[in-house]
Amino acid sequence: MTTERAARAEVDGDERKLAQSRRKMTLDKAFREFARYPTPWMIAPLSLGSVVARIVVGDFAWTDGLVPVVMIVSFPLAEWLIHVFILHWRPRSLGRLKIDTLLSRKHREHHNNPRDIPLVFIPWQVLCGVIPAVVLLGVFAFGRVGLGLTFLATLGLLGLAYEWTHYLIHTDYKPKSRFYRATWRNHRFHHYKNEHYWFTVTTAGTADRILGTYPDPDSVAKSPTARNLHAVG
């Protein structure tokens, strides 16, 4: 078998194993496991609290409908940018200072062992800094507190959607819908075939198609660093 076909065989093998598995992973089982990890419990209060506060504040305007639409439409692009420039950050040295963030280190570990579920989630240490920062952004950057709360509620829901989708892709849950199967396969090609392509996680190649990182899998060579990003030991 050529190296170009090896990754596709690995992804196809994953699908066959799921189809033949006696221990079926249901959405209920998957959700119970998902709820064991800290990240959802950190993001959910942000969204729920923002929704409650938004209702209390009132003062609704047409922009409260526009902001979620813009955020949802642009989310695949944000995913792509974060994945490429933050998660796949190559460690650099500035004199004696080594620049290597916790997010990039954890993401390298995730590529090294895609089946290690705790590594699927955003590190809780990162959220400890990100959540207060976005709350300040929501309160002070929108000119109207109500609109900022709309932003925060939407951001929390998008964060939960990202964590759930990414988590589910890495479990033994068998894809059923055509859309989810495409998303599932794309992400596995990213991990098992070539880490330079298929960067979106919650959608099936949206931003990737626009930005040129959605090739025919058969046309892409298997990368020797898909499991060891940047060949960093």
108 burial (CB, 10 Å; 0-12 / 13-18 / 19+) is buried
> What beta strand segments (E) does the chain contain?
92-94, 97-99
Q: What is the pLDDT of residue 17?
A: 58
Q: What is the pLDDT of residue 74?
A: 97
212 token code pair:
């040129």
What averages of pLDDT result for each successive group of 10 residues across the chain (233 residues)? 58 58 78 96 96 93 95 97 96 86 96 95 96 95 94 97 97 91 95 96 94 94 92 70
- Which residue is it, tokens 């709360």? 149
Indicate the Cα dihedral angle 68, 74, 75, 81, nearest 10°: -150
Q: Are the CB atoms for 41 and 124 separated by under 8 Å?
A: no
Q: Are the CB atoms for 188 and 180 separated by under 8 Å?
A: no
Q: What is the pLDDT of residue 22?
A: 44
Q: What is the pLDDT of residue 96?
A: 82
Q: Which helix (H) or strand (E) holds 212?
A: none
**Predicted structure pTM score:** 0.87
Q: Measuring CA to CA, how many Å separate 171 from each of 17, 115, 153, 159?
A: 12, 8, 27, 19
